[in-house]
Amino acid sequence: MQNTTLHGKTALVTGSTSGIGLGIARALAQQGAQIVLNGFGDAHEIKALQAALTKEYGVKSTHHPADMSKPAEIAAMMTFAAEQFGSVDILVNNAGIQHTETIEDFPIEKWDAIIAINLSSTFHTTRLALPTMKAKNWGRIINIASVHGLVGSVQKSAYVAAKHGVVGLTKVTALEMAHTGVTCNAICPGWVLTPLVQKQVDARAARDGLSNEDAKKNLVSEKQPSGEFVTPEQLGALAVFLCSDAANQVRGAAWNMDGGWTAQ
């Protein structure tokens, strides 16, 4: 059954055609928010996602294919969202990419791309969303950082640097908005069971002759003591809470949902 806690609000979720972003978009739609999807993918599949959101939750949805490494396309997306629905009330910065390599061998172009998409895009969407949020004295900015915004791992220099930057930007945004009805917080997931990660689980199960469940636990347990993946649905539920009145004084938090990863 659809709830209506976010009825009349518009949520823009970057990188939301699959995985974490789609899980959060669904959770917000379930609460009555209109949805602006963003991301790459097959046009027919994206249309089907939009239709599913409308059918399941009775909300309007649209899609903009902005490349989150390009400030001009980000600006066009924000203008598009305002034209479609009047304003962006909830901004979820989720788009991200990854590349692993030691620092001395890390390709410069990969570093630049990761910083642009994982960090700089969050600045660009935020700076464009804030004026309207301040004028309405209500807004929610939720930055999907990572456990790697709190701790490091080898061969992930660009990703860790970007995600630490997202956490820092979250804190500054929250402080600048402290006397308004606009909040900004970061969610820091550990391992998440996205379709891409499920493929890794399937490959490990086939390679090692394990059940899918055992392969999953072997993959995740090195870092995540629970031995269980975080799900997009769980992250969506946390995003819904951060949009609620109960979270009015949750400001500048870096909220880890990581199965105990950072508790070690």
Catalytic residue numbers? Answer: 159
Compute the C-alpha angle 125/127/130, nearest 5°.
100
What are the backbone angles phi and psi of residue 159, rounded to the nearest 5°? -65, -45
What are the backbone angles phi and psi of residue 102, rounded to the nearest 5°? -65, 155
State the DSSP string of 200-247: HHHHHHHHHT--HHHHHHHHHHTT-TT-S-B-HHHHHHHHHHHHSGGG
Helix/strand/coil percentages in the chain, nearest 5: 55, 15, 35
Residue 105: DSSP 8-state: G
Determine the Cα–Cα distance for residues 160 and 151; give it in Å rounded to an integer: 8
Q: Alpha carbon of 218 to those of 147, 152, 205, 206, 211: distances in Å? A: 19, 21, 10, 13, 11
Residue 45, H or E segment: helix 43-57
Contact residues for 246 (Cβ-Cβ < 8 A; gap 6+): none
